[in-house]
Amino acid sequence: MANAGQKTITANIVNEPWGHQTYDDYPSLIKWIKKKDGSWLYDYILLDRYIAFVMTTGINQRINCYSMVPWKIAFTYWDETAQKEVVFTEAIGTPAYDAFWKNMLTDFTKHLKAKNWFEKTYIAMDERPMKAMQAVIKLLKSVDPKWKLALAGEYHQEIEKDIDNYCIASKWEFPADVLQKRNEQGKTSTWYTCCAEPYPNAFSFSSPAEQVWMGWYTANKNMDGYLHWAYNSWTKNPLTDTRFTTWPAGDTYQVYPGPLTSVRFEKLIEGGQDFEKIKQLQALYTKNKNTTALEELNKALENFNLKSLSTVTADEILKRVKPLLNK
């Protein structure tokens, strides 16, 4: 269920500093080189090897490229004249930013098309402001109108039509007419939780039933899937302490080194399985014109809304509706 069950390759295409970490914490798979004559060279060797390898494992449906819009605008490149790394810090939407990125995107587009990867590649961002997104959308479309974008963040009606893979925070909902249109257009519409929501969530102290609940909620809202940050961003001692410096315990990973699974991850899988079975049953009941069973299942799904968890636990709700999947 996570992110519509799509097998996605994620790759940084520029060095991205994040929070207190260094530039090397999120290294680019593309080497940016400003030559002595002022021209640019982009070395795709690492990116190509990485994508080719990951595809051999069966992860081959989509390539998400980060991050034109990082938390801190600071991109590193090698300057041949200075013989050192230089940091570019011009603001998004400025002529300097557009020139810096347009040259690269033009070259990158040609490279992706030569590799037959362009159609499955997205420029992806997380929780970025709408104005920054609008500037990047305009820039991308000027390079090639067929560029696709992915965004996890707040819902913005102003840019919704330009986001091909839109994952909204749990406090937001897609308007029904917008979601229907997105489904008709083949766009992906999902939701996510992060460190901000007390429930439902996947903290180490969360009720495990909440992650099963998420699958039913996704089905009720007719979205394509749920996205969780993060799978294995481990803390210093992940087997003994799930606390992170500023976020609730367990938010940064669902599995443990080993690899070892967790109750939380197994319940997330169960929620995904329920989601898939709900969709299959709805299709089957519709095909067989079993309106009674279809109405009963759809009525049960109405129990899955965020407000309900303030008065009844996820476990209580699931105990009432789970038998419907085994009729």
SS3 53: helix
Cβ contact 119:147 at 8 Å:
no
SS3 67: coil
pLDDT at 4 over 50: no
| The pairing of beta strand 31-34 with beta strand 75-79 | parallel
| The pairing of beta strand 165-169 with beta strand 225-228 | unpaired
- Residues 91, 94, 99, 102, CA torsion sign: positive
Residue-wise pLDDT for 123-150, tens only, equals 999 998 999 999 999 999 999 999 999 9
pLDDT at 2 over 70: no
Residue-wise pLDDT for 282-319, tens only, equals 999 999 999 999 999 999 999 999 999 999 999 999 99
pLDDT at 18 over 50: no
Residue-wise pLDDT for 26-51, tens only, equals 578 999 999 999 999 999 999 999 99
Q: Helices 95-114 & 130-143, crossing angle to 10 degrees? A: 50
What's the confidence (pLDDT) of residue 123? Answer: 97
What's the confidence (pLDDT) of residue 20? Answer: 37
SS3 239: coil
Helices (H), 38-148: 45-56, 95-114, 130-143
Mean pLDDT rounded to a whole number for the chain: 92
Residue-wise pLDDT for 151-188, tens only, equals 999 999 999 999 999 999 999 999 999 999 999 999 99
**pTM to 2 decimals?**
0.92
- Locate 272 and state its tokens: 């995904």
Residue 14 CA to residue 103 CA, distance in Å, equals 14
What's the confidence (pLDDT) of residue 59? Answer: 94
Residue 23 DSSP code: G
Lookup result for tokens 């500023």: 246
pLDDT at 111 over 60: yes
